[in-house]
Homo-oligomer: A and B are copies of this chain.
Amino acid sequence: MSSAILILSGPSGAGKSTIIQNAKNQIGDFYFSISTTTRSPRDGEVDGVDYYFTDKEHFEEDIKNGEFLEYAKVHGNYYGTSLKPVHKALDEGKLVIFDIDVQGHRLAREGITEPITSIFITPPTLQELKKRLLNRKSDDIEIINRRLKNAKDEIQAIEEYDYLIINDDIDIATKAFISIAKASRFKYSNKRLDSFRQSWLEK
């Protein structure tokens, strides 16, 4: 299996986590990218599962060394996507899956030379998204309204993605995801292509 990168974006409430959970035994060996943070673990959070937990000094050293695809400081704590575990997983031939926003997708396209496939996942309508967010009962109305505004902005960026999954049936959406994930291993980077072409002609 070839290593490759698969990026998922889409509004909170689009069903990304459920889709990955449903598909996880059918897409071969993969690594789901986890964020690194300097905030303290909450009850039940596990290092290497929920986040990579680190301290400010190490985080800032990694920033200096260009080890982050993206990072931000929120309420005094750093959050970022470290490239170290990504490169390790790629070296092991794994598919690396990112759940990142439109801006993270842009940074990945600029900063990563491995072959990238990207999917925008969305609920069928804005109304349906609102319904799902209200039903989750996990966010207060202010956060829901911010999520809905973000969704309206992000929907304008679908052109930047390879595929669009409109998640109005979770089984169909999962099957679509599995097909795209399997296909993503047959994308090629220009680097890989040069060496393939050379050996193709010589052997």
Cα-based distance from A163 to B183 in the complex (angstroms): 8
Once the chains bind, are B158 and A197 in contact (CB under 8 Å)? yes
Once the chains bind, are A127 and B203 in contact (CB under 8 Å)? yes
Q: Which residues of B contact A142 (CB under 8 A)?
A: none
Cα-based distance from A109 to B188 in the complex (angstroms): 20
A83 on the B face (CB < 8 A): no
Q: Quick one: which of A165-203 are within 8 Å of B by CB?
A: 165-166, 175-176, 179-180, 182-183, 185-188, 190, 193, 196-197, 199-201, 203
Once the chains bind, are B158 and A203 in contact (CB under 8 Å)? no
Once the chains bind, are A126 and B190 in contact (CB under 8 Å)? no
- Complex copy number for this chain: 2
15 interchain pairs (CB within 8 A)?
A119-B186, A124-B200, A125-B199, A125-B200, A126-B200, A152-B201, A158-B193, A158-B197, A159-B190, A163-B187, A164-B188, A166-B196, A176-B182, A182-B183, A183-B183
Once the chains bind, are A183 and B176 in contact (CB under 8 Å)? yes
Chain B residue, CB-CB nearest to A129: B200
Once the chains bind, are B176 and A186 in contact (CB under 8 Å)? yes
Q: Which residues of B contact A190 (CB under 8 A)?
A: 159
A144 on the B face (CB < 8 A): no
Cα-based distance from A182 to B177 in the complex (angstroms): 10
A90 on the B face (CB < 8 A): no
